[in-house]
Amino acid sequence: MKLVREPQAEINIIPLVDIVLVILIIFMITAPLMTAGIEVNLPQTKDSPLSRQEAEPLRITIFKDGTIKVSGETMSLNKLSAWLAEAKERGVIKEVQIEADREANYGLVAKVLSEVKRAGFTQVGLLTIPE
């Protein structure tokens, strides 16, 4: 009697799972080793550390009645856009912070954000208080 083996029509998944588990274990062992830093003995100096010399951010305040104030000066939306363009041109201001009353008109806040973006400022923050 002769045994004849016929080809299997199914995929044998067991060896695949074994290989994937071995590769997973290898990555789990080697990944923490790749994040280790190099120990360097830095020289000492008598100079003081560098201080952070950044300009104060521009703060735009929007009140619930629609009033817009910049550095204590009340201005309209049109005057604000011209003022921002001039400030960006001079390069004095790097960051803009917007603080709006929670009852302020959302459309006005969106328009102020749009004017800030149109003036070319990329660092814009919306100020909030923690709960």
CATH number for the domain that contains residue 120: 3.30.420.270
How confident is the model at residue 48, as a pLDDT? 57
How confident is the model at residue 40, as a pLDDT? 42
State the total domains in the chain.
Answer: 1
How confident is the model at residue 50, as a pLDDT? 45
Residue 86 placed within a domain: yes
Residue that wins the pLDDT comparison between 34 and 119: 119
Residue 41 placed within a domain: no
CA distance between the termini of the chain: 84
Residue 13 placed within a domain: no
3 state SS of 67: coil
| Residue 107 near residue 68, CB atoms below 8 Å | no
Residue 71 placed within a domain: yes
List pLDDT tens digits, range 2-48: 777 777 777 788 888 999 999 999 999 888 777 654 444 444 556 55
3 state SS of 51: coil
- Which region holds residue 21: left if phi is over 0, alpha if psi is between -120 and 50, else beta? alpha
Domain enclosing residue 115, as ranges: 58-126
